[in-house]
């Protein structure tokens, strides 16, 4: 596509970051945005639930809302955000990094008693990422980080067993997503710093971006 200045630019990428609580999604999303921007890639970092009024209700309402009502609330926010923010930005050439997307709901909602099929059906018409990264890390490492950082939601595990189960659900969700043709990529954080994880992801994303242009 040609811009008004005559320079050519194409569509951006939609990149999502999911994974268990404490694995570093929020920290890495910010660093990844900075690293992509420093390499000249127009980048927008966002999260689901979004900063909209529906998103704020979902993010801060996990004690009030449970099961299908929370699933639908999160889904309403995500459709709204995808339609008004993510898709337009990507079409204009911005690479969007989103902290949590559908893969998280395939884990958190079943942990709340919802069938995976119900969750998958509700997202049938939503934007599919170009790259869906699932960060995976040792459950005891994630448990320690969340204990040190603090829990802001009932979905932030309170002990090792919560984190072990959440990790197991993400492993199952990854297999399901790959089977469904979703562009899911597992990324093991090992003992890397957040900056090292972000650098590894930036390298991976830029290789895909360069391959497409």
Ligand X SMILES: Nc1ncnc2c1ncn2[C@@H]1O[C@H](COP(=O)(O)OP(=O)(O)OP(=O)(O)O)[C@@H](O)[C@H]1O
Ligand Y SMILES: Cc1cn([C@H]2C[C@H](O)[C@@H](COP(=O)(O)O)O2)c(=O)[nH]c1=O
Given the rule CB under 6 A, which residues bind ligand Y? 21, 48-49, 58-59, 62, 70, 74, 100, 104-105, 108-109, 153, 155
Candidate list 60, 149, 203, 212; residue touching ligand X; CB under 6 A:
149
Residue 133 binds which of ligand X, ligand Y, none (CB < 5-8 A, kind-dependent):
none
Could you tell me the smallest distance in angstroms from the CB atom of residue 40 to ligand Y?
28
Candidate list 12, 13, 25, 33; residue touching ligand X; CB under 6 A:
25
Q: What is the pattern of x (binds ligand X, CB under 6 A) and - over residues 176-195?
A: -------------x--xxx-
Measured CA to CA, the distance from residue 92 to residue 175 in angstroms comes to: 32
Residue 197 binds which of ligand Y, ligand X, none (CB < 5-8 A, kind-dependent):
ligand X
Residue 59 interacts with ligand X (CB under 6 A): yes or no? no
Dig out the tokens for 34 from the structure: 């900075």
DSSP state of 2: B
The answer to whether the bond into 49 is cis (omega within 30° of 0) is yes
Distance of CA 121 to CAs 70, 111, 118, 140, 166, Å? 15, 17, 5, 33, 21
Residue 21 interacts with ligand X (CB under 6 A): yes or no? yes
Phi, psi of 146 (to 5 degrees): -65, -40
Closest CA to 19 of 120, 113, 145, 118: 145
Candidate list 145, 154, 164, 185; residue touching ligand X; CB under 6 A:
145
Residue 23 binds which of ligand Y, ligand X, none (CB < 5-8 A, kind-dependent):
ligand X
Measured CA to CA, the distance from residue 138 to residue 153 in angstroms comes to: 21
DSSP state of 50: -
Q: Which residues in this chain contact ligand X in the complex, by CB under 6 A?
A: 21-27, 145-146, 149, 156, 189, 192-194, 197
């Amino acid at each position: 596509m040609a811009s008004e200045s005559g320079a050519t630019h194409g569509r951006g990428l939609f990149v999502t970051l999911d994974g268990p609580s404490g694995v570093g999604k929020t920290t890495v999303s910010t660093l990844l945005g900075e690293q992509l921007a420093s390499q000249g890639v127009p980048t927008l970092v966002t999260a689901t639930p979004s900063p909209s009024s529906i998103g704020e209700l979902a993010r801060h309402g996990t004690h009030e809302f449970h099961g299908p009502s929370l699933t639908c609330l999160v889904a309403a926010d995500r459709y709204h955000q995808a339609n008004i923010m993510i898709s337009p930005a990507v079409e204009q050439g911005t690479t969007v990094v989103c902290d949590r997307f559908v893969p998280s709901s395939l884990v958190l909602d079943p942990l709340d008693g919802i069938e995976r099929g119900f969750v998958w059906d509700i997202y049938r018409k939503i934007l599919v990422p170009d790259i869906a990264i699932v960060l995976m890390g040792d459950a005891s490492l994630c448990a320690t980080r969340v204990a040190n950082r603090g829990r802001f939601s009932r979905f932030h595990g309170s002990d090792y067993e919560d984190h072990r189960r959440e990790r197991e659900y993400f492993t199952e969700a990854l297999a399901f997503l790959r089977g469904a043709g979703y562009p899911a990529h597992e990324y093991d954080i090992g003992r890397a710093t957040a900056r090292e994880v972000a650098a590894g992801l930036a390298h991976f994303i830029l290789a895909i971006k360069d391959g497409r242009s």
